[in-house]
Amino acid sequence: MSRTAEIKLTVELDEENLPTCIEWQASESHEQGATPCQSMLLSLWDSESKTTAAIDLWTKDMTIDDMNVYFYQVIHKMADSYLRATKNSDIANLIHEFGNGFGSKLGLLPKDSSQGLGEVPVDLITLADNHGTRSTN
């Protein structure tokens, strides 16, 4: 049986059209109401034109240190998503290696570290799968 899930983003802007607040909520989430965040990257693939549309936003009070950690985690999340989508572990590992180099260069982890930094980013599909709320049909 098919169904529809919804993800809603709300962005408050100041007089210069800079984001001051970003909130999201998902119909599949167990959280009630909107959840605040300081940054988001949304990429949408158009297979017909072979192009990616993107919306990249961050609040004006997000620190550079937080942005560095955020991008470090996004790079690793991208590697995980790529592996799940393609099953190509060689390229996924290459993306992880790039992420580790990025993190090391920024001083987020020791130069010889292969360990990650911080919590694993939230993946809404995995979150729904883990809670048994996503249909596999």
* DSSP annotation of 71: H
Residues β-bridged to residue 52? 45
Block residue for tokens 């098919």: 2
Q: pTM for this one?
A: 0.77
> Total domain count for the chain?
2
Closest Cα to residue 60, out of 12, 9, 18? 18
Same-domain check for residues 67 and 132: yes
Same-domain check for residues 52 and 22: yes
Same-domain check for residues 6 and 45: yes
Same-domain check for residues 53 and 88: no
Q: What is the pLDDT of residue 130?
A: 47
Please give the chain's pLDDT, 137 residues, in tens.
999 999 999 999 999 999 999 999 999 988 889 999 999 999 999 999 999 999 999 999 999 999 999 999 999 999 999 999 999 999 999 999 999 999 999 999 875 555 555 544 545 444 444 444 334 43
Closest Cα to residue 69, out of 38, 21, 119, 108? 108
Same-domain check for residues 67 and 30: no
Closest Cα to residue 90, out of 75, 79, 77? 79
Looking only at Cα atoms, what is the longest distance across the chain? Answer: 50
Query: Which range of residues forms the domain containing residue 42?
Result: 1-61
Cα–Cα distance measured from residue 97 to residue 76, given in angstroms and rounded to the nearest whole number: 9
Same-domain check for residues 51 and 90: no
Same-domain check for residues 57 and 83: no
